[in-house]
Amino acid sequence: MIPDFTRAVGVPRLAGIAYPLSRPMGRPGDAHGQREVLRALLGLLVSAQAPDAYVELPYTWPETPAQARKGADVNPPIAQLLARKPWLLPKLYTGEIPDEV
Amino acid sequence: MAIDSYRFLDFATRQIIKAWVNREVHERRPIPWTPMTRPLAECTVALIATAGVARRDDVPFDQERERQNPWWGDPTYRTIPQGTTEDEVKLYHLHIDPRFGQEDLDVVLPMRRLGELASEGVIGRPADTHYSIMGYQLRPHVLESETATAIAREMKARGVDAAALVPA
């Protein structure tokens, strides 16, 4: 996922994992893999001693980024809006989010 | 940090997230900390998914309003009882690929796995109810001030000892 961002936001305990978005626990049907991720995540409740505790889980994703994106039909409204009005893009960077379109 | 947070992101998303990271680092706030008060093996554990999961008989997350105003994301939450299955829910998140969680709900809300870890004695028991939010929140003030506090209140009332948030 994106531990760089989650850690910057400031959470008490964080387990980073090198999995793509939409599949934080692992592949569909991979009960063993999902269970080990959850076991490691909950283990942090025991091992963490202070805020900003961070561990990186040792699991790797079996696909390249291109393979992981294959077949995805994701086109968020904000991406459609910015394709039409690219001059609004800086607002996303700066966080100056408008109330309305 | 050895994990490459940006490996699976497209170029545009990568640049935006990096800008956000840079901003957050400079706005660094105190991080809350609640120590564990009992062994994990005795804890009731709840899950929070950010995948916009809602039961089909519940109110959907408001995708239409987001389509009308893409700067907005539904900041409310839904409860998902332990044992709920894929057929009973829908994923209302326009920024993630819903196919995987719809095929196997444990991919985004690992309730079955939590039950298995309870059977192994790793945790005491799964909470009766878990929670879902929709993670696209460009301005998270309602999520932080209203939704998060409401979820925390519910968890306390239901005897939850620990919670794990699963971002999607």
If you search the block for the tokens 């990186």, which residue do you land on?
A56
Q: Is B107 on the interface with A (CB under 8 A)?
A: yes
pLDDT confidence of A100, banded at 50, 70, 90? confident
How many Cβ contacts (< 8 angstroms) between chains A and B?
179
Per-domain residue ranges of chain B:
39-166
If you search the block for the tokens 């809006």, which residue do you land on?
A81
Residue type, B129: T
Domain containing residue A36:
3-72
Examine residue A97 and state whether it is found in any structural domain, yes or no.
Answer: no
Per-residue pLDDT at B1? 64
Per-window interface: A 6-65 vs B, CB < 8 A: 6-12, 16-29, 31, 34-35, 37-39, 41-42, 45-46, 50-52, 54, 56, 61, 65
**Are A65 and B7 a contacting pair at CB < 8 A?**
yes
Across A57-76, average pLDDT: 92
Report chain B residues whose CB lies below 8 A from the CB of A6. Answer: 167
Examine residue A100 and state whether it is found in any structural domain, yes or no.
Answer: no
Q: Is B143 on the interface with A (CB under 8 A)?
A: no
Share of chain A above pLDDT 90, in %: 85
* Euclidean distance between CA atoms B41 and B125, whole angstroms: 8
Examine residue A94 and state whether it is found in any structural domain, yes or no.
Answer: no
pLDDT confidence of A101, banded at 50, 70, 90? confident
Instruction: Give the ipTM.
Output: 0.94
pLDDT confidence of A95, banded at 50, 70, 90? confident
Q: What is the mean pLDDT of chain A?
A: 94
Per-residue pLDDT at B102? 97
Per-residue pLDDT at A89? 92
The per-residue DSSP string of chain B comes to --S-TTTTS-HHHHHHHHHHHHHHHHT--PPP-----S-GGG-EEEEEE-B-EEETTSPPP-HHHHHH-TT-----EEEEETT--GGGEEE--TTS-THHHHH-GGGTS-HHHHHHHHHHTSSSEE-SEEEEEB---SSTHHIIIIIHHHHHHHHHHTT--EEEEE--
Report chain A residues whose CB lies below 8 A from the CB of B8. Answer: 19-21, 61, 65, 68-69
pLDDT tens digits for chain B (168 residues)? 699 999 999 888 899 999 889 888 878 789 999 999 999 999 999 999 999 999 999 999 999 999 999 999 999 999 999 999 999 999 999 999 999 999 999 999 999 999 999 999 999 999 999 999 999 999 999 999 999 999 999 999 999 999 999 999
**Are A42 and B167 a contacting pair at CB < 8 A?**
no
Examine residue A7 and state whether it is found in any structural domain, yes or no.
Answer: yes
Give per-residue pLDDT as tens, B47-59. 999 999 999 999 9
Examine residue A22 and state whether it is found in any structural domain, yes or no.
Answer: yes
Per-window interface: B 9-68 vs A, CB < 8 A: 9-10, 12, 15-17, 19-21, 23-25, 28-34, 36, 40, 43, 45, 51, 66-68
Which one of A37, A52, A73 has the shortest CB-CB distance to B31? A52
Query: Chain B: nearest CA to A49, how far in angstroms?
Result: 8
